[in-house]
Amino acid sequence: MALRGKPRVVRLAMVLVPALLLAGCGSVQERASAAGDTATRFLEAVAGGDGEAACALLAPETEAEIDAPCAESILSEALPAPAPVTDSEVYGQRALVRLGGETVFLAVFPDGWRVVAAGCTPRGERPYDCEIEG
Amino acid sequence: MSRALRDNSLGLVFGSLFLIVLVGQAFAGHADFNHQQLAAGMEPISLGRYLTSASFAADVAENWQSEYLQFFLYIFLTVWLVQKGSPESKKPGDEGRESDREQKVGRYATEDSPSWARAGGLRRTLLSNSLGLVMGLLFVASWLTQSIAGMAAFNEEQLRDLQEPVSWARYLTEPDFWNRTLQNWQSELLAVASMVILSIYLRQRGSPESKPVGSPHDSTGVEG
């Protein structure tokens, strides 16, 4: 009985394992795309002068680091103009999005991706130097 | 039913303990992960999300790979290496793969031998090395899993610290990968060395892992 059942288990695994792997890849791509959208919306809000929309996309710790009222202060930060997303990498609860030469760090919250740091420039092995960060 | 339970009690107890402890690790790891989430100003994640995270996979796989490496090495090295006085070892002089008669293969196979022991060629070679090979394959698969999950977990921390994520190839050269790997290897090798050497002088009455209580310290390969 067990021997007869085995091929079915193997067949099932042959279908399920690639399906789960593909689902996992699809999920990662969707999450990377969503992170890219948030980064773009954030930079577009800043460039369009909509400070409230920009602040609504900030992680709480990052918003807390900006002088109140956030909606006014965020517009005076030296943040880059929006550019097409060239790369978006997601690892667990964190994401990095590159827009042209700029880098934005994000983290996921129950309502979606929020910006943790923006206007970031690399410093080799050391952490990025960011205009705003939490 | 009770006979079947008794006849398989060792495998059943260890299998059950494994599942209980794995569940315990899942809850403890989830709590620890969320503690770090809160410390970083983020929201806690669900248990389901944690169980599919790279962090949990890396923590599980790094321990699995070292266990399978331990058994793989032990199974293969005890073919060729001996330890005088240890019940874990063959007697000095018996090193090697032994004769077909001793191993009951080919024409020396008995009626109740596995059919592949009677067969020749690849089937006999596979059966003759199946225990070590499967342990070796499980080691490689677990170590590979550790490297991939470890890279993702490492990169999550890199992004938390506003640092550049690394590729898989680069992760294999990172101290994080080797620290996770070697801290497990050293403990497994210590455990094997302890078992091999302590079992020369110490006894556990009734255990097949020990020689009989009254056996002399220099008797090798005698299990009680």
Is the Cα dihedral A29, A31, A34, A36 positive or negative?
negative
Q: Shortest Cα distance from A124 to chain B (angstroms)?
A: 9
pTM, two decimals, is 0.88
Tell if the CB–CB gap between B161 and A109 is shorter than 8 Å. no
Size of interface A-B (CB pairs under 8 A): 56
How do the domains of chain A map onto residue ranges?
Answer: 2-133
Distances (CA, A) of B215 to B83, B198, B219: 16, 14, 7
For residue A59, give the nearest of A110, A18, A99 by alpha carbon: A110
In the three-class reduction of DSSP (H, G, I as helix; E, B as strand; rest coil), residue B83 is classed as coil
User: What's the average model confidence in pLDDT over A3-15?
Assistant: 60
User: What's the average model confidence in pLDDT over A93-106?
Assistant: 94
Q: What is the pLDDT of residue B23?
A: 98
For residue A94, give the nearest of B158, B177, B47 by alpha carbon: B158
For residue B135, the tally of other CB atoms under 10 A from its CB is 20
Q: What is the pLDDT of residue B51?
A: 97
Tell if the CB–CB gap between A92 and B37 is shorter than 8 Å. no
The structure tokens 């983290």 sit at: A107
Q: Which CATH fold topology does A2-133 show?
A: Nuclear Transport Factor 2; Chain: A, (3.10.450)
Chain A, window 2-31: residues with a beta carbon less than 8 angstroms from a chain B beta carbon: none
List, for chain B, all residue ranges whose pLDDT scores fall below the cut of 50. Answer: none
Q: What percent of chain A has pLDDT over 70?
A: 81
Q: What is the pLDDT of residue B221?
A: 80
Is residue A9 over pLDDT 70? no
pLDDT band for position A34 (cuts 50, 70, 90): very high
For residue B212, give the nearest of B203, B220, B221 by alpha carbon: B203
Q: What is the pLDDT of residue A20?
A: 56
Using one digit for the tens of pLDDT, what is the confidence trace for B84-128?
Answer: 999 989 999 999 999 999 999 999 999 999 999 999 899 999 999
Distances (CA, A) of A95 to A38, B77, B98, B168: 11, 46, 57, 17
The residue of B43, B151, B160, B162 whose CB has the most chain A CBs within 10 angstroms, and thus the best one to mutate to test that interface, is B162
For residue A25, give the nearest of A90, A84, A87 by alpha carbon: A90
Q: What is the pLDDT of residue A39?
A: 96
Tell if the CB–CB gap between A92 and B165 is shorter than 8 Å. no
Helix (H) or strand (E) holding B87: none
Is residue A12 over pLDDT 70? no
Q: Shortest Cα distance from B83 to chain A (angstroms)?
A: 41
**How is residue A111 written in tokens?**
């309502």
Residues B77, B95: contact at Cβ < 8 Å? no
Give dist(CA B193, CA B207) in Å, integer: 18
Q: What is the pLDDT of residue A27?
A: 84
A110 in reach of chain B (CB within 8 A) = yes
Q: What is the pLDDT of residue A19?
A: 64
Q: What is the pLDDT of residue A111?
A: 92
Q: What is the pLDDT of residue A2?
A: 41
A60 in reach of chain B (CB within 8 A) = yes
Tell me the chain A residues in contact with residue B42 when contact means C-beta distances shorter than 8 Å: 59, 93, 107, 109
Tell me the chain A residues in contact with residue B43 when contact means C-beta distances shorter than 8 Å: 109-110
Tell me the chain B residues in contact with residue A127 when contact means C-beta distances shorter than 8 Å: 161-163
- Minimum-distance CB partner of B54 among A89, A92, A117: A92
